Chains A and B, each alone.
Chain A
Amino acid sequence: MRFALGQQVRVSDRPHAGHCRTPGYVKGKTGTVERVHGSFTNPETRAYGADGLPEQPLYGVVFAQRDVWPVYAGPAGDRVVVDVYEHWLEKA
């Protein structure tokens, strides 16, 4: 595991062709690791019939809604937790 609970991480904003589980609305955003789910086969390759190996660590990353949505009008404490695979995360 490259990242630990409570660590700040940034989601890569690199382009990606094909199936991907990292939602575009968090690309380039900085959040905090809130959960370490374990390692799982990679859906980006499984989506095309491969075995998804090697397994990739998966994290629950929490973002402030106001950081994610420029026009967010809800309470400042609102959060969104997104599951992101390690190969999409960078040190913040």
Chain B
Amino acid sequence: MQDRGGVPTSEPIDRTEHELDDWELLTDALVGALGAGGIMNVDELRRGIESMPRDEYERAAYYERWLFSIETNLIEKGILAPGELEARL
């Protein structure tokens, strides 16, 4: 799902704030660590998010999209094997 801006919608925009859950904070920290370690940059993060199928993208929460992209990028780089995360859950 690329170039989402300006796509018409009849859904109201959810502007409510919420406290971040631990997994969201950890996801943010993970992206920071991957960037600092030279493993994944922010443009790769964004490109991975854009590679999500549209229906999955629309269903996913903000940091769920980050998780999708982290997994996509780490599989591309050979750091994770396909299915490795699911197998450990």
Contacts and interface: CB of A to CB of B under 8 A. Distances in A.
B12 to A, nearest CB: 17
- Chain A facing B: main interface SS: loop
B contact residues, range: 10 to 19
A19 B47 CA distance: 6
B3 A23 contact: yes
A contact residues, range: 10 to 19
A18 interface: yes
B43 A47 contact: yes
A44 B47 CA distance: 9
B44 interface: yes
Interface string A28-71: 00000000000000011011110010000000000000000100
